[in-house]
Amino acid sequence: MPGPREDCLFCKLVREAEAVRRADGFVAIADINPQAPVHLLVLPERHVDTFRDVAEFPPDEAQRMLAFVAETAAESGLTDYRVIVNVGPGGGQTVFHLHWHILGGRPMGETL
């Protein structure tokens, strides 16, 4: 398993940020520029470049990551929310360490 990337902002945050939740190899942090009343990021503690790499995950890790996203939303008091992963620069990804956005706390239906 690759170690942290010294040039990766999120590898640094995994080590240093105050996590909202941390378990099972995953961490949830508050987004620094929230787009909704609740805006969390879920990331694997190990460095993974993009969602494309999920194709290579062991099935149990992919399942645990999804469960962590759902549990984080529930523990944040959300029942209705949006989960987004931006994939590659053309998909809006700006930080190249896999992360899931959890957005909620306002009606999310009006914009994609």
Q: Which residues are catalytic?
A: 99
Chain Cα centroid distance, residue 49: 12
Residue 35 near residue 86 (C-beta atoms within 8 A)? no
Chain residues 40-79 in contact with Zn ion, contact rule CB under 5 A: 47
> Which listed residue (13, 69, 73, 97) binds Zn ion by CB under 5 A?
97
Question: Is residue 99 a contact point for Zn ion (CB under 5 A)?
Answer: no
Q: How far apart are the C-alpha atoms of 89 and 76, rounded to whole Å?
A: 29
3-class SS of residue 89: helix
Residue 8 near which of Zn ion, ligand AMP, none (CB within 5-8 Å, type-dependent): Zn ion
Residues that bind ligand AMP (CB under 6 A): 9, 13, 29, 31-33, 41, 86, 92-95
The nearest distance, CB 93 to Zn ion, in angstroms, is: 13
Residue 97 near which of Zn ion, ligand AMP, none (CB within 5-8 Å, type-dependent): Zn ion
Helices and strands, counts by H and E, the chain: 2, 5
- Which is closer to ligand AMP, CB of 16 or CB of 60? 16
Q: How far apart are the C-alpha atoms of 35 and 112, rounded to whole Å?
A: 12
